Amino acid sequence: MYQLISQFPPSNDIGSIFQFIFSLAFLVYLFYAQRIQTMMMLKQVEGALTKLKVIRDEGRNVAIKTVKEVGKLKDDPTPHIDQMLEEFVIGPVDLDPAGIVWKLQQIVNVREERFEEEVKAIAPEASESETHNIENLIEAAMALNTIYKVIRHFYLLGKRTMNIYIILQVQMILPLIAQEVEAYASALQAFVQGTPIGDGAGALTAAILMKGYESRPVAKDTVIAEVPFEGRTLIVMKAQGPGGNVGRPGDAVNKAMEEREGKISQIIMIDAAAKLEGEELGSIAEGVGAAIGGVGVEKYMIEEVATKYKVPLYAVVIKEDIKDVVAPMKEPIFNGAEKAVDSVKRFVRMRSKEGDVVIVVGVGNTVGIAQ
C-alpha cells in the first residue's frame, strides 16, 4: 500500500502532509504492531475480568445471604465465609507414587470433614440437607473466586510485562473460562434452592431403581438398597439425598463386595459425562470401566476391588454439556436418567443369570434427589 501510494505524487500541500503521516503511521505500525495486538488482547481479558468480578461478588453475596437466612447465626458469618473462600488443599508428594492414593484419600477426607464442621459452625440451625447444600454453595463461590484470582493474576502480570505470550494464554482460553463461569453461576441458583443438578443424573438413575425399597446407610453419606429384579438381586447405591453430596461410592462398593465375599456378577456404574459439541443433551452411551470423576480416589478403590474379585465393570453415561453439570437439571437429562434405567436393566438381563447379584452405582451429586 505504501509503495502504491508513493506512485501517485501529491497534488497539493495537504496531499504531501497526508503522505508523510501515512508513511509515519506505516513505520510506527511496523515496529509496534505486536504491542497494539497485546493491548487489544489485554482489553479483552480486562472485559472478561470485570464481568468475572461481578459474578464472583454475586456468588459471595448469595452464599452470605443464604447462610444468614438458613443458619440463623447470631454473629455476622461474613468474615468466616471470606476465610472459607480462600481455603486451599495441598496435594501429597508424588516423587514416590506408591501409596499416593491413600494419602490423597486422607487429605480429601480431612478437608471434607473440616469443611462440614465449618459450615455447621456458621449455620447452626441448618438441617443436614441444608448443611450439605450450603457446603456446595460455598464450593461454587470458591471456584468462582479462584477463577477470578487466576485470571486477574495473568492479566496484571501481562499488563506489567506487556508480554504477549502471557496474555495470549489467558485470551485463548477465555471461551472455555466463560463456559465454566456460567456453570458455576448456575450452580448458585441450584444450591440455594436445592434443585437437582445435571451431575445428579447417575444418582437419579439409582434413585429410580431403588424407589419403593428400603435403603440403609453403607458408608459416609451413602445408602444402599437391595432390589429384586427378574430373579437377580440388584444392590443399588447412591449418595444420601436430598442434600447435596456425592457420598463415598468407593467405600460403599468395597463394603458391598466384602459382605458378599466378592460373589458379584458385575458392577454397573452410571454417571453424567461431558458431551462433545454436536452430541445430543441427555443421550446415553454404554461402555466398560469405572464411570466416576473426582480426584481419583473412589475410582481407584472401585477398580482395586473389582480386579481383586475379577468382577467386570460396566459404565452407562448420560451426556451433558459442561455448563449443565452444576446447573438445575434440564428435562433432557432427566429423561436421560430414565433411559439409563432401561439401559441398566438390559445390561443385567444380557450379562447375568437368575440368582446373580449385581452392584449398580449411581454416581453424582444427589442434591434434590431423595431415595
Partner 1 sequence: MGEQDRSIYSTFGMPRMLLIALLFIGILSIVSLYLGFDAYLSDKQARASLYLLLGTGGFALIGYMFFRSKSVMEKVEMIPQLEVITTLDCPSCGLKNIRAFQRGDYLFKEAEECTRCKGKTVIAKIHGRERQKPK
Contact positions vs partner 1 (CB under 8 A): 1, 4-5, 8, 11, 14-15, 18, 21-22, 25, 36, 39-40, 42-55, 58, 62, 129, 152, 155-156, 174-175, 177-178, 181-182, 185-186, 188-189, 193-196, 204, 207, 211, 241-242, 327-331, 333-334, 368-371
CB 145 within 8 A of CB 85: yes
Relative orientation angle of helices 78-85 and 128-161, to the nearest 10 degrees: 60
Relative orientation angle of helices 201-210 and 331-351, to the nearest 10 degrees: 60
Distance CA 133, CA 126 (A): 10
Q: How far is the CB of 158 from partner 1 (least distance, A)?
A: 12
Q: How far is the CB of 208 from partner 1 (least distance, A)?
A: 9
Distance CA 154, CA 41 (A): 12
For partner 1, give the closer residue by CB, 202 or 368: 368
For partner 1, give the closer residue by CB, 119 or 333: 333
Q: How far is the CB of 224 from partner 1 (least distance, A)?
A: 17
Distance CA 316, CA 286 (A): 5
For partner 1, give the closer residue by CB, 45 or 311: 45
Query: 313-320 and 266-274 as β-strands: parallel, antiparallel, unpaired?
Result: parallel
Cell readout for 337 is 436418567
Query: 232-239 and 266-274 as β-strands: parallel, antiparallel, unpaired?
Result: unpaired
At 3, give phi and psi (nearest 5°).
Answer: -65, -40
Query: 357-362 and 222-229 as β-strands: parallel, antiparallel, unpaired?
Result: unpaired
3-state secondary structure of 45: helix
In the block, cell 446373580 appears at 356
Q: Name which of 75, 78, 69, 54 is nearest 192 in CA terms.
A: 69
Q: How far is the CB of 232 from partner 1 (least distance, A)?
A: 24
The answer for residues whose C-beta is within 8 angstroms of residue 211's C-beta and 6 or more apart is 371
For partner 1, give the closer residue by CB, 234 or 369: 369
Query: 284-288 and 215-219 as β-strands: parallel, antiparallel, unpaired?
Result: unpaired
Q: How far is the CB of 316 from partner 1 (least distance, A)?
A: 19
For partner 1, give the closer residue by CB, 298 or 324: 324
For partner 1, give the closer residue by CB, 50 or 278: 50
Distance CA 77, CA 73 (A): 7
Q: How far is the CB of 138 from partner 1 (least distance, A)?
A: 16
Q: How far is the CB of 312 from partner 1 (least distance, A)?
A: 30
For partner 1, give the closer residue by CB, 44 or 307: 44
For partner 1, give the closer residue by CB, 100 or 147: 147
Q: How far is the CB of 242 from partner 1 (least distance, A)?
A: 4
For partner 1, give the closer residue by CB, 149 or 346: 149
Cell readout for 287 is 461402555
Q: How far is the CB of 321 from partner 1 (least distance, A)?
A: 13
